[in-house]
């Protein structure tokens, strides 16, 4: 009985519209009501029908929102999911906004240098939040490694005019020097930043970006699909361990030894030379002061490479 009553109350407006339509039809056929009365009753019926349609549309929209929330909740419970380039940017942005640590393993770290590190520091600073950064990049002192890295991406390029076709070994090393300089500069600019840079002797097609909320596997550019592994899942914990082991095997840069090396807001050529000298990295002999000024700009003022 209660179920019938609920159905009647839920669809009372539909019943009213139906009864009005039947009454109007009957009056019109019998010729009892005037044309004006029939028209007025018809308008009233249409008004009721409009209200019914609006109510159903609102209910449909509400159900759509509920379904979307359910899908998002289900996605968070999945170990691994594939996302597109546009969604990858959104996931990375959300991860940077809430994390207190970041682990990166990849090639030159251009995106880390231009976007991730500056944004994470900018978010942590007002909160005086401690920030841990672990970067594993290619060793710029190994030209053969850089050469193979360039060749691999050129062989895998999709078009003859792809950006990878213009890459050079020297450009790759320059990108790596810039990432190291950016790490040293940000370390001095934010007291609560604990940054550790390791130089790897191996390269990979994938880039690993681990935050407190998720682990994201990306490739060359946002046009490629990416994988997301949510934190707290067995897969996330396994890859976290794998990245830790890989990090420990790579050569560590002694960034702690730069405490006595002060870097200006815009480091001079001599300050840059001092940084790499202290870190035990030999810059190319043909790097002039102008070359180091350009390196400084690349390190601290690079635009988002995928914007």
Is the model's pLDDT at 301 over the cut of 70? yes
Over the stretch 259-268, which tens digit does the pLDDT of each residue have?
888 899 999 9
Using DSSP's 3-state secondary structure scheme, residue 163 falls into helix
Q: Whole-angstrom Cα distance, residue 161 to residue 163?
A: 6
Query: In the predicted model, is pLDDT for residue 14 greater than 80?
Result: no
List, for residues 174-232, the tens digit of each pLDDT value: 999 999 999 999 999 999 999 999 999 999 889 999 999 999 998 876 678 899 999 99
Burial letters for 39-58: b for 16+ Cβ neighbours within 10 Å, e otherwise? eebeeebeebbeeeeeeeee
Give the C-alpha separation, 177 to 181, whole Å.
6
Is the pLDDT score of 134 beyond 60? yes
Q: Is the pLDDT at 71 greater than 50, yes or no?
A: no
Q: State if pTM tops 0.85.
A: no
On average, the pLDDT of the chain sits at 84
Q: What is the pLDDT of residue 228?
A: 95
* 72-93 pLDDT per residue, tens: 554 555 578 998 877 888 999 9
C-alpha to C-alpha distance for 107 and 67, rounded to whole angstroms = 40
> Which residue(s) pair with 211 in the sheet?
none
By the 8 A CB rule, do 194 and 250 touch? no
Q: Is the pLDDT of residue 248 over 60?
A: yes
Boundaries of every domain in the chain: 2-76, 80-300
Is pLDDT larger for residue 160 or for residue 57?
A: 160
Range scoring the smallest mean pLDDT among 32-46, 92-106, 252-266, 272-286: 32-46
- pLDDT for 37 beyond 90: no
For residue 123, pLDDT over 70 is answered with yes
CATH fold of 80-300 reads Endonuclease; Chain A (3.30.870)
């Amino acid at each position: 009985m209660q179920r019938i009553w609920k159905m009647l109350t839920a669809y009372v407006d539909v019943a009213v519209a139906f009864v009005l339509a039947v009454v109007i039809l009957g009056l019109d056929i019998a010729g009892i009501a005037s044309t004006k009365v029939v028209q007025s009753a018809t308008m009233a019926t249409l008004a009721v029908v409009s209200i019914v349609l609006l109510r159903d549309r609102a209910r449909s929209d509400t159900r759509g929102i509920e379904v979307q929330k359910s899908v998002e909740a289900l996605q968070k419970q999945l170990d691994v999911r594939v996302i597109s380039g546009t969604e990858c940017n959104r996931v990375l942005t959300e991860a940077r906004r809430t994390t207190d640590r970041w682990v990166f393993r990849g090639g030159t770290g251009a995106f880390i240098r231009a976007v991730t590190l500056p944004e994470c520091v900018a978010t942590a600073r007002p909160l005086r939040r401690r920030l841990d950064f672990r970067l594993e990049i290619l060793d710029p002192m190994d030209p053969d490694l850089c050469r193979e890295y360039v060749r691999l991406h050129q062989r895998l390029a999709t078009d003859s005019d792809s950006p990878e076709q213009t890459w050079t070994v020297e450009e790759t090393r320059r990108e790596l020097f810039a990432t190291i300089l950016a790490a040293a500069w940000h370390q001095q600019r934010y007291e609560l930043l604990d940054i550790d840079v390791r130089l790897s002797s191996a390269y990979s097609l994938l880039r690993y970006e681990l935050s407190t909320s998720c682990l994201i596997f990306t490739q060359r550019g946002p046009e490629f699909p990416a994988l997301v592994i949510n934190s707290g899942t067995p897969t996330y914990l396994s890859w976290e361990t794998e990245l830790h082991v890989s990090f420990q095997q790579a050569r560590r840069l002694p960034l702690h030894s730069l405490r006595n090396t002060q870097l200006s807001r815009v480091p001079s050529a001599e300050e840059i030379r001092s940084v790499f000298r202290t870190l035990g990295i030999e810059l190319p002999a043909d790097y002039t002061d102008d070359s180091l000024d350009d390196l400084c700009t690349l390190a601290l003022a690079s635009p988002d490479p995928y914007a």
